[in-house]
Amino acid sequence: MSLSISLTINGQPRTIALDDPRVTLLDLLRERLDLTGTKKGCDRGQCGACTVLVDGRRINSCLSLVASLDGADVQTIEGLADGDALHPVQAAFIEADGFQCGYCTPGQIMSAVGLIKEGHASGDPERVRELMSGNICRCGAYQGITEAVLEAQKVMADKKGRNAA
């Protein structure tokens, strides 16, 4: 049985011929499309390393079947920067030292982008920590991660305010 699945990945329309419906979005990205920025930690929804945006919402790509995503818009860490210009969340992670080994970082950054879009954290570090709890950092870089999310959120809000003015 072969399924034909249409996806937009980082703005590019792709048609995926799926010979096996067992493929998760994470395995599609890493094993078949060479987009290895998205990481596999636990493969069971317990770490957040595989976080990507699907139709603008952060989800765990390890627990999502490609077969059920026909028509979806997927954004990964590879699609975040604008050419050489880093996304504000990427810049803030560097600025605030939001990582050590970097393994959890693509997931942290995609999760932060989703969190800021959702708009439930306000400027409260406690809310940021709670809403980032789906991303485990083995190195314990949480202090920097929280600072980076708060900073990026501020930068993005200021930019939006300036654009509106």
Question: Residue 72 contacts by C-beta under 8 Å, 6 or more apart in sequence?
Answer: 7, 8, 54, 55
What track of x and - describes contact with other proteins for positions 63 through 102 (by CB under 8 A)?
A: xxx-xx-x--------------------------------
* Widest Cα–Cα separation across the chain: 54
**Please, are residues 53 and 75 in contact by the beta-carbon 8 Å criterion?**
yes
Of residues 70, 53, 151, the one with CA closest to residue 110: 53
The residue among 45 and 123 lying less far from ligand FAD, judged by its C-beta, is 45
What track of x and - describes contact with ligand FAD for positions 6 through 45 (by CB under 6 A)?
A: ---------------------------------------x
Q: Least Å distance between CB 84 and other proteins?
A: 29
Which of ligand FAD, other proteins, ligand FES, none binds 122 (CB below 5-8 Å, type-dependent)? other proteins
At residue 100, what are phi and psi to the nearest 5 degrees?
-120, -75
> Interaction with ligand FES in 109-138: which residues (CB under 6 A)?
137-138
Q: Hey, what amino acid is at 49?
A: A
Please pick, from the candidates 81, 94, 101, 157, the single residue that binds ligand FES as defined by CB under 6 A. 101
- Does 31 interact with other proteins (rule: CB under 8 A)? no
Question: Residue 21 contacts by C-beta under 8 Å, 6 or more apart in sequence?
Answer: 1, 3, 65, 66, 67
- Does 46 interact with ligand FAD (rule: CB under 6 A)? yes
Q: Least Å distance between CB 83 and other proteins?
A: 28
Q: Least Å distance between CB 13 and ligand FES?
A: 25
Residues that bind other proteins (CB under 8 A): 1, 3, 20-22, 24, 43-45, 48, 51, 57-60, 63-65, 67-68, 70, 111, 114-115, 118, 120, 122, 124-127, 129-136
